[in-house]
Amino acid sequence: MIGRLYGPSEDASKTWRTLVVARLLQLEIEFVKTSKTGESKSDEYKAKFPMAKVPAFEGADGLLLTESRAIARYVASLGNLPDGSGSLLGDTPHKAALVDQWLQFSDDELFNNTTAITASKWGAPFDVRREAFHWWGLRRALTCLDGHMQKPHTEHGANDASNFLVGNHITLADVSVFGNVHMAFRDVAGKETRDAFPSLMRWYDQIRNHPLVAQMVRDESWQQYDYHFNVGGAKPS
């Protein structure tokens, strides 16, 4: 076992990606459910992680890590894909940089905009202009992804035909972006929005159907209409 991963749930996107990475590399990792407002505030937890952040990682060798991207990258560095196709972090400096680019894009453009759109659902003050701004940001990100998957494959950093974000096999870029696209589809993006991005949807289906990823996708209830906060919740755009 490589260690313990502390997180609010196995399906939370910033926890999920590390669990999927471990599954892809056939590494054993223990998940410990840890609430941001409960267990993470204990003295025992803060003795290991003074900022009380979740997710966090405690390695079998004593390594203590917070910051979800650092955790995912560390676990991804512990081996290559068992089928011999390469590293989840990219097989060249060029590809490694592209993986890092998409990893940050995943959080900054997908996760942050999606969670901001639903923030009022969980008690944050509602601001219609703020919601519109984050919808604009999310649609811009989905448009970018759709356009990327339409480009010649060599522009993805691959030497031959590829339907992955970087190179010709699955990487941490695909895992992280998939997790946050899935969250956007589940929580905010309705059918009309999804249908506007056919190349993105083809990539999504490919990653979704990867045998080891498929085992980790549990909640596939998607929005019928784009989510807008209107006291009652979702409504047609």
The verdict on pTM exceeding 0.75 is: yes
Answer whether 208's CB lies under 8 Å from 170's CB.
no
Residue 32 has what pLDDT?
A: 97
Q: What is the tally of structural domains in the chain?
A: 2
Report angle CA 142, 145, 150 to the nearest 5 degrees: 130
Q: 176 and 102 in one domain? A: yes
HSE, side-chain direction, 13 A CA sphere, residue 50: 0
Question: Which residue, 76, 101, 126, sits at the end of a domain?
Answer: 76
Q: 110 and 208 in one domain? A: yes
* Percent with pLDDT over 70 in the chain: 92
229 is a domain residue: no
Question: pLDDT higher for 8 or 122?
Answer: 8
What does the pLDDT look like over 135-189, one tens digit per residue? Answer: 999 999 999 999 999 876 554 554 444 689 999 999 999 999 999 999 999 999 9
**Which domain range does residue 109 map to?**
93-214
Which positions ≥6 away from 207 have C-beta within 8 Å?
A: 170, 174, 175, 178, 213
Q: 103 and 43 in one domain? A: no
Residue 158 has what pLDDT?
A: 47
* Percent with pLDDT over 90 in the chain: 77
23-37, 179-193, 207-221: which has the minimum mean pLDDT?
207-221
